[in-house]
Amino acid sequence: MTESNQSMTKTSPLQGLLSAFIPGLGQFVAGLRARGFYIFATVFTMGGLSVWTIAQRARFPDYGLSLGIFLRLSVQAAALLLFLLAAQRLLTRFILHDPVAQTFSGYGVGILYVLAVTYLTQSFLSLAAAGVETNQYHATTAVFAAAAMAALWIWQIGDAARVGGLSSQQPKPSIGSLIFIACVIIFILGYNITGINLPKAISEYQDTAILLPRMFWPWRNAFEYTQEFEEATQKIQAPCPAGDEGPPANSPDPDVAWVSATPTCGDLSERPITGGLMLGTELTITGGNFTPGQVVDILWNNPIGNAFRPRGMGPTEITIDLDGGFSTQLNIPDAVISASTAVGAQIHTLVVRQSSEEVFTGRLSQDMILALELMLQTIMIGLMATFFGIILAFPVSFLAARNLMAPVVSPLNRIVGSGIGLIAGVWAGGIITGQIANRLGGLAEAPIQIFLAGIFAVGMLGLLGFQSIGTLFTRLTNSLGAQGTGKVLTSLVLAALAAAPGYLLGIGFSRGIRSIVLGDEVAALQESTYAIAGALLLALVAALYGMLRRSGEGVKIGMAIYTVSRTIMNIVRSIEPLIWAIVASIWVGLGPFAGTMALTVHTIAALGKLYSEAIESIDQGPLEALQATGANRLQTIVYAVVPQILPPFISFTIYRWDINVRLSTIIGLVGGGGIGFVLIQWMRLYQYENVGIAVWLITITVATLDYVSSTIRERFV
C-alpha cells in the first residue's frame, strides 16, 4: 500500500481483474509466483479461520448456513473498505495536497474501518444468534478475521494491477505486512480461545482475600494448643404445644457455673422457602458462677447432638459481670431438621461454654506432623528416582551417543552368533525355569525368583553362546569360502534366524489387526497361514540381504542401536511425569512407589539424553589415541570418555535431582504419594491453613535444594 505512488503511472487492470476473482492469480500471472502463492494462501487461511470460528460460535450443525453468514459479512466488510478507500482517494486528490495530511487521512480510513467493523458485529450477532446460545468471543473473532480477509482481498487486487504493470523490475514482495496481518489474526483467535477475561480478574479479586491470608500465615495450625472448657446447660423443649411446661428451669447453684432460662418451652424460628425469618420464642437466659470479666459462648445443641452458634437470634458472646453472673435474651433458633420430619416435642440443650485461654503445648499438630512426614517422603521419592535414574541412564547414554556408536560395526558372524545364542538361551532358560517351577509345585505356584533366575539363565547362555557360535559360524563359512557356497550358506542361516521373529510377527498381525477387522473367529482360522507367511517374508528379506551384502563388510549395528535407543528415549521423555504417574499408580497402586516409578522412567529418558549429548561433545582426540594403543572399546570408554564426561554428568545429575524433588511435590496430585497427595485433599476440603503449611514446606524445600544444588554444581564444575 505504501509503494502506490511509485508506480501509479503503469498499472495492469487485467491482472487486477484476475486477482479480484482468485486472490494472488494476477501476481502469479505477472511472474511473481511466490507472492501470488502467499497471497492466495493467506486469504484462504483467513477465510477458513473465520468460517471455522463462525461454526464454533453458532454451533450450527449445517456448515452452509455459517458459510452464508460469512460471505455476507465479508462482502459487507469489503464494500465498506472500498467506500472508505474511494473516499480517501477523492479527499487526497481534490482537497488535501499536503503529504502529511494524506498520511493522516490513511490512518483515519484504518480507524474508521475498524470502528465500522465493530459496529457491524452487532448486526452480525443478531443474524447468527437466532435461538442459539451466544458466544461473543468467537463472534468477534469471526468478524475481525472476515474483515481482515476482505481488506487483504481488496489490497491484493490493487497489488496485482501494480505488479502487472512492472514487467521487468520485480520488487520484493512485502511479506512483512502479510506476517503482521497473520499475527493479528492469530492473536485475536488465541485471545478468544483461551477465554482471557481481564475485567473478571479485576472485579473478582476479593475471592482470594479469604484464601490468601490463611495460606500465607498458616502456622497456628502447625502447633497444638490445649484449651479447657467449662459448660453449663439448660434443657429447652420445642415446639411447645399448649399446656406443656417444658423441662424444669435450673435453679442457681452455689458451687459451680449454672445457667437457667425462662421459659424452657417455646417454638423454633423458621426460615420459609419464600425468604425471611420468623423468630422463635424469646428466652431470657441468666447464669452465674462464671469467671468474672471472661467471655462465654452461647451454643445451641439440637436433639441430634450437633452444637452450633445460633446466629441472628441474639448475642452469642457475653462478657461475664464482676459478680460472675450474666443475663441475656435469645430467640430459639431454627431447627436443622425440617418441621415435617421433626414431629412432636423435642428436647434441645442450651449450652453456655466458658473457655480457658489457649495454652501452647509446644507440640506439633497432627496435620503438621503429617505434612512433615510426607515432605520427607517427597524428598525421598525425588532421591530414589534420581538414584535409579542415574544407574539406568548411565549405560543407556552410551548406547545413545552417536560418536561412540557410529563406528560400532559388528562382523556378521557375531550377529548371527548372538541370534543363535539368544534363541538357544531362551530355549534353555525356558526349560530350566520350567523344570525348577515343576519341582516347586507347578508354574502357577512357583515364586517369582524362579522366573528371574530363568531370565538370568537366558541372558547368560545367550551371551556365552554368541561368541563361540559366532566363531564356529566364521569357521564354517571360511571353510566354504566367502563366495559361492559359503555365501549361500550364510544367507540360509540368516533366513533361518529371521524366520522366528517373522513367525511371531505374523501371529501378532493376525491377532491384532485382522481380528479387529474381521473378528476373532475368522482371524483365528487363518492364523497359522499368516504366521508362516510372516516367517517366509522375513526369511526372504534376510536371505536377500545375505546374498547382496559385500563379504567382509560389517553390519552397522551401532547406528541401529543408537537410533532405536534415541527414539525410545525421545518418546518416553515427551510424556510428562504426571502421566507416567497415572500409569504407575494403576500398575502398582497409589502411593510413593508409583511416584518413584514414574519419576524414574522420566529421569532415565531425560538424563540419558543429557548424558549422551555430553558424551557426544567430548574431545575425540584421546579416544583416537587410546584406540591406537590397542585398547579395546571398554577400555577407551573407561580411560578416555569417563574422565571427560564426569563434570557434566555430575552437573546434570544434580540438576535432575533438583527437578525430581520439585516434580515429586506435585506427583501426589495424581496419586503418586508425597505431599501433593494431602495437598490436593486439603485443597478440596477447603482447609487452607493446611494447604498453606504444605505450600510453605514445598517452598522451603525447593529453595534450599536450589541453593544446595547450585553450590554443589559450582564446586564441581
Partner 1 sequence: MLKVENLTHIYPDGTVALRDVSFEVPDGEFLGIIGLSGSGKSTLLRCINRLLDPTEGKVIWNGVDLTELDQADLRKSRREIGMIFQHFNLVRRSSVMTNVLSGRLGYTAPSWSLINRFSRKDREKAVAVLERMGISNKAYNRADELSGGQQQRVGIARALMQDPKMILADEPVASLDPVLAHSILGALETLNKEDKITVLCSLHFLDLVQRYATRVVGLRDGRLVYSGSKEDVGKLSDQRFKDIYGEEAQRLDTD
Kindly state whether residue 625 participates in binding partner 1, applying the rule CB under 8 A.
yes
What single-letter DSSP state applies at residue 4? Answer: G
Q: Cell 505486512 sits at which residue? A: 177
Residue closer to partner 1 (CB basis): 317 or 619: 619
Q: Which three-class secondary structure state does DSSP give residue 298?
A: strand
Q: Give the residue with the Cβ less far from partner 1, 402 or 511.
A: 402
Interface pick for partner 1 out of 4, 643, 699, 711 (rule CB under 8 A): 643
Give 348's contacts (C-beta < 8 A, 6+ positions apart).
235, 236, 237, 238, 300, 301, 302, 303, 332
CB 634, min distance to partner 1, A = 5
* Secondary structure letter of residue 275 according to DSSP: S
To the nearest whole angstrom, how small is the minimum distance from the Cβ of residue 624 to partner 1? Answer: 6
Using the rule CB under 8 A, give the single segment among 273-281, 475-483, 616-624, 685-693 that binds partner 1.
616-624
| Residues contacting 699, CB < 8 A, separation 6+ | none
Q: Is 233 helix (H, G, I), strand (E, B) or coil?
A: strand
Task: Output the DSSP codes for 600-625.
Answer: HHHHHHHHHHHHHHHHHTS-HHHHHH
Q: Which stretch binds partner 1 (CB under 8 A): 183-191, 515-523, 638-646, 677-685?
A: 638-646
Asked if residue 550 binds partner 1 (CB under 8 A), the reply is: no
Q: Look-up: residue for cell 507440640? A: 363
The DSSP letter of residue 132 is S
Residue 619 CB, shortest distance to partner 1, in Å, is 8
Kindly tell me which of 146 and 615 has the beta carbon lying closer to partner 1. Answer: 615
Q: How far is the CB of 627 from partner 1 (least distance, A)?
A: 6
* Cα–chain center distance at 161: 51
Q: Where does this chain touch partner 1 (CB under 8 A) — which range of 112-120, 227-235, 446-454, 634-642?
A: 634-642
The verdict on 486 binding partner 1 (CB under 8 A) reads: no
| SS3 assignment for 557-576 | HHHHHHHHHHHHHHHHHHCC
CB of 554 to partner 1, least distance (A): 9
State in angstroms the smallest separation of the CB of 555 from partner 1: 13
Q: Does 635 bind partner 1 (CB under 8 A)?
A: yes
Q: Is the dihedral of CA 519, 520, 524, 529 positive or negative?
A: positive
Query: Based on CB atoms, which residue is closest to partner 1, 345 or 406?
Result: 406
- 249 φ, ψ to 5°? -75, 140
Instruction: Pick the closer one to partner 1 by CB: 123 or 551.
Output: 551
489's grid cell: 550358506
Choose one: 209-217, 254-262, 480-488, 627-635; the region binding partner 1 (CB under 8 A): 627-635
Is residue 629 a contact residue for partner 1 (CB under 8 A)?
yes
Q: How far apart are CA 127 and CA 117, in angstroms?
A: 15
Those residues whose C-beta lies under 8 Å from the C-beta of residue 126, and which sit 6 or more positions away, are none
Residue number with CB closer to partner 1 (344 or 621) = 621
113, amino acid identity: Y
621 binds partner 1 (CB under 8 A): yes
Q: Among 94, 632, 714, 715, which residue sits at the site for partner 1 (rule: CB under 8 A)?
A: 632
Residue 606 contacts partner 1 per CB under 8 A: no
Q: What distance in Å separates the CA atoms of residue 490 and residue 507, rounded to the nearest whole number?
A: 27
Residues 553-582 interacting with partner 1 (rule: CB under 8 A): none
Nearer to partner 1, 139 or 469 (CB): 469
Considering the complex, state which of residue 545 and residue 639 has its C-beta at the smaller distance from partner 1: 639
CB of 628 to partner 1, least distance (A): 4
Question: Which H helix or E strand runs over 531?
Answer: helix 527-548
Please report whether residue 619 would count as binding partner 1 according to CB under 8 A: yes
Options 375, 614, 640, 697; binder of partner 1; rule CB under 8 A: 640
Binding mask 120-159 for partner 1 (x = CB under 8 A): ----------------------------------------
Asked whether 534 and 503 are in contact (CB, 8 A), the reply is yes
Binding mask 644-673 for partner 1 (x = CB under 8 A): x-xx--------------------------
Three-state DSSP class for residue 276: coil
Query: Hey, which residues between 324 and 353 contact partner 1 (CB under 8 A)?
Result: none
Smaller CB distance to partner 1: residue 259 or 614? Answer: 614
* Of residues 598 and 640, the one with the C-beta less far from partner 1: 640
Lookup result for grid cell 465479508 = 74
Amino acid (one-letter) located at 568: I
Closest to 351 (Cα-Cα) out of 240, 244, 250: 250
Could you count the other beta carbons within 10 Å of the beta carbon of residue 206? 7
CB 272, CB 278: distance < 8 Å: yes
Among 631, 650, 702, 712, binds partner 1 (CB under 8 A): 631
Asked if 628 interacts with partner 1 (CB under 8 A), we say yes
Span from 95-103, 504-512, 642-650, 666-674 in contact with partner 1 (CB under 8 A)? 642-650
Nearer to partner 1, 591 or 622 (CB): 622
Backbone angle region of 137, left / alpha / beta, with phi > 0 → left and psi within -120 to 50 → alpha = alpha
Extract the C-alpha cell encoding 212: 490468601
Closest CB to partner 1 among residues 12, 636: 636
Residues 404 to 463 in contact with partner 1, rule: CB under 8 A: 411
> Which range touches partner 1 (CB under 8 A), out of 187-195, 219-227, 603-611, 614-622?
614-622
Query: Pick from 105, 120, 107, 174: which is nearest to 150 by CA?
Result: 120
Minimum gap (Å) between residue 386 Cβ and partner 1? 24
Q: Which is nearer to partner 1, 470 or 506 (CB)?
A: 470
Site size for partner 1 (CB under 8 A): 23
Residue 665 to residue 374: CA distance in whole angstroms: 9
State the Cα–Cα distance between residues 172 and 77, nearest whole angstrom: 28
In which element (H, E) is residue 645 found? Answer: helix 642-667
* Cα–Cα distance for residue pair 528/303, rounded to 1 Å: 76
Given a contact cutoff of 8 angstroms between Cβ atoms, the answer to whether 404 and 559 are in contact is: no
Q: Does 262 bind partner 1 (CB under 8 A)?
A: no
SS3 category, 316: coil
The 10 Å CB-count burial string (b at 16+, else e) for 297-327 is bbbbbbeeeeeeebeebbebebebeeeebbe
CB of 629 to partner 1, least distance (A): 5
Stretch binding partner 1 (CB under 8 A), from 313-321, 356-364, 455-463, 630-638 = 630-638
**Stretch of residues binding partner 1 (CB under 8 A), selected from 255-263, 303-311, 587-595, 643-651:** 643-651
CB of residue 625 to partner 1, shortest distance in Å? 4
- Smallest distance from partner 1 to CB 506, Å: 36
Q: Which of 634, 684, 714, 715 binds partner 1 (CB under 8 A)?
A: 634
H or E stretch including 584? helix 577-588
Q: Which of 638, 685, 700, 708 is close enough to bind partner 1 by CB under 8 A?
A: 638
One of 626, 661, 667, 693 touching partner 1 (CB under 8 A)? 626
Instruction: State yes or no: residue 630 binds partner 1 (CB under 8 A).
Output: yes
Provide the CA 263 distance to its chain's centre, in angstroms: 63
Closest to partner 1 by CB, 33 or 633: 633
Report how far residue 643's alpha carbon sits from residue 608's, in angstroms, rounded to the nearest whole number: 18
Q: How far is the CB of 677 from partner 1 (least distance, A)?
A: 42
686 three-class SS: coil
Give the interface with partner 1 as residue ranges (CB under 8 A): 411, 619, 621-622, 624-632, 634-636, 638-640, 643-644, 646-647
